[in-house]
Amino acid sequence: MPNKVPWGQNEQAAYDKLKDALCKATESRLSIIHMDRPFHLLVDASDHTVSGALTQIGDDEIEHPIAFFSQKLNKTQRNWAVVEKEAFAALSAIRKYYKWVFGAKIIVISDHNPLTYLTETAPKSAKLMRWSLALQDFCVEFKYRAGRDHVVPDTLTRFVSD
């Protein structure tokens, strides 16, 4: 039968090993959400991808990951200005994690400094203005982090290729 996948002891052992590795990776690396703490949303954009990592600072004063995302940009989105791509990354991440972050303080951290002015001044483009208005439903603060220190979201934008 062409639709039947051969499955023997070797395949089952490889599957079990992969399943165990995934379980161990997520149980020791991803943190549980604390609703009484602010969320950090690390975002980045490249020519073809936007990405983000949702984190929180733990009792140990270390930033712990909660969730990750990356998304390819379509042909139109690839032509946007860098500030629009970075803003889109932030808005996409907030929408993705809406049920977790609504009502909490969200600190959006980007390696694109102009993004920090998105909620402080009137944006020049209609698109940025709409997104700025959409962000008013949330308690959002934008912060800049130098690219060399913004490793996680930068890495996620490199995982997705054309």
CATH of the domain at 146: 3.30.420.10
- Whole-prediction pTM: 0.71
Residue 53 lies in a domain: yes
Residue 144 lies in a domain: yes
CA angle 121, 75, 157 (to 5 degrees): 70
Band of residue 19 on the pLDDT scale cut at 50, 70, 90: confident
Band of residue 162 on the pLDDT scale cut at 50, 70, 90: very low
Strands 63-72, 105-110: pairing kind? unpaired
Measured distance CA(58)–CA(39) in Å, rounded: 11
Residue 23 lies in a domain: no
Name the average pLDDT for the chain.
81
Measured distance CA(157)–CA(59) in Å, rounded: 29
Residue 95 lies in a domain: yes
Residue 98 lies in a domain: yes
- Is 14 exposed, middle or buried, given 0-12, 13-18 or 19+ CB atoms closer than 10 A? exposed
* Residue (of 53, 134, 132) closest to 97 by Cα position: 53
Q: What is the mean pLDDT of residues 137-155?
A: 78
**In this predicted model, what pLDDT tens digit does every residue of 47-56 receive, in sequence order?**
999 999 899 9
Residue 106: pLDDT above 90? yes
Band of residue 120 on the pLDDT scale cut at 50, 70, 90: low
Residue 31 lies in a domain: no
Residue 76 lies in a domain: yes
- Domain total of the chain: 1
Residue 45 lies in a domain: yes
Measured distance CA(2)–CA(6) in Å, rounded: 10
Looking at 30-141, list the stretches that DSSP marks H as alpha helix, in order from N- to C-terminal side.
82-96, 98-101, 126-135
Looking at the chain, list the stretches that DSSP marks H as alpha helix, in order from N- to C-terminal side.
9-29, 82-96, 98-101, 126-135, 151-159
Q: How many CA atoms lie within 13 A of 120 on its CB side?
A: 8
Domain containing 142 equals 39-159
**In this predicted model, what pLDDT tens digit does every residue of 67-91 receive, in sequence order?**
888 899 999 999 998 888 988 999 9
